Amino acid sequence: MKQLAMRTCLSATLLVLATLTIGLAIAGCDRDPAAKVDLSHREELPPPQTPPSITYAYLPQYSHATSFMRHGQIVEYLRKATGLPVRQVFPDTFDAHLRMVERGEIDISFSNPVAYIALERSGARAFARIVERSGEPVFRGQIVCRSDNKALQTLDDCKGKRWIAVDPLSAGGFLFALGMFLDHGIGPKDFAEIAFAPGPGGKQEKAVLGVHAGRYDFASIREGTLDIVNHTLEPGSMRVLATTPGYPSWVYAARKGLDPSIVAKVRKALLTLSDRDPEHEAILNAAGMKGIIPAEDRDYDPVRDLLAKLGLDPSKVVGE
């Protein structure tokens, strides 16, 4: 009985202590004033900022995926070699590429020589050019048709036929071929149709596929394009009807106002690439190049002569 009484007494004591503790806690809460929230005061948070970078763009002659595969390794190499935050951007069209350079949205442009002539008018300047896989610092256009099209054997056979070209500003994919036709006495009015590959990006492939599908009789493309798209076609289904004369190769240009020290770093890194270095050779091969050499604006005077022969102002060719 004594143990029971002691346990009862102890339980009562603990109950009293617990009640006092809770009471003190509640009393303490009563002494703390409630925090007031002023909902009328708001602070605008700035949107996330993209870190500054040096933008690099490849004139969109192929799809964005192909552009990345061909130049992604060069961009990564430039980051490491220069220490600059270089990133690749992807214009949808030739015209968009030019406008982005003019607006300062593309710092380093890799373009065909005709596009460069237009860019030069906005203050861009050439600083390097590529050596093609052929080992020459020039490239050419090609006229291609289906191998089973026996009606096309010579340039004269193209009269009255349907022609699909890459773009009005495409050098190898249109203007080189147009110059070659004119040299053979064949003008634009001699064709049943001159069409341009539709949509953004991938225009070289689309020109070839338009002929392969039978929608057009022949296409004008850049030399080397068949090597890129042949894996999607039946072997031997396309053939080269003619090849144009060579013109100065694709060019690296810096936009107007780009810091000269940045241009110097990028130029030095590009000119350092050598196919004698296995790592460099892999980078160059992916981009379809054998090497990169210095360039000056005057190297592209033969392209200016071609445009004069065609009666074209490159600034007016864009977007047509």
pLDDT in tens, 146-174: 999 999 999 999 999 999 999 887 889 99
State phi, psi for 234 to the nearest 5 degrees. Answer: -65, 135
Per-residue pLDDT band for 36 (boundaries 50, 70, 90) equals low
Q: What is the CB neighbour count within 10 angstroms for residue 182?
A: 15
The mean pLDDT of 265-276, rounded to a whole number, is 97
Mean pLDDT of all residues belonging to the chain: 86
Q: Are 71 and 56 in contact (CB under 8 A)?
A: yes
* DSSP helix/strand/coil, 172: helix
Residue 13 has pLDDT above 60, yes or no: no
Per-residue pLDDT tens digits for 48-69: 555 679 999 999 877 888 889 9
pLDDT > 70: percent of the chain = 81
pLDDT at 48: 59
Q: What is the pLDDT of residue 66?
A: 85
Stretch (H or E) spanning 307: helix 301-310
Query: How large is the average pLDDT for residues 297-320?
Result: 80
Burial of 63-94, coded b for 16+ CB within 10 Å and e otherwise, reads bbebbeebbebbbebbbebbebebbbebbebb
Q: Are 210 and 162 in contact (CB under 8 A)?
A: no
Residue 155 DSSP code:
G
Strands 193-196 and 162-165: parallel
Q: Which of 11-25, 138-152, 184-198, 252-266 has the lowest mean pLDDT?
A: 11-25
The highest-confidence range among 1-5, 12-16, 280-284, by mean pLDDT, is 280-284
Contacts of 178 (CB under 8 A, 6+ apart): 188, 220, 310
Placement of tokens 């270095």 in the chain: 277
Helix axes 113-120 and 301-310, enclosed angle (nearest 10): 90
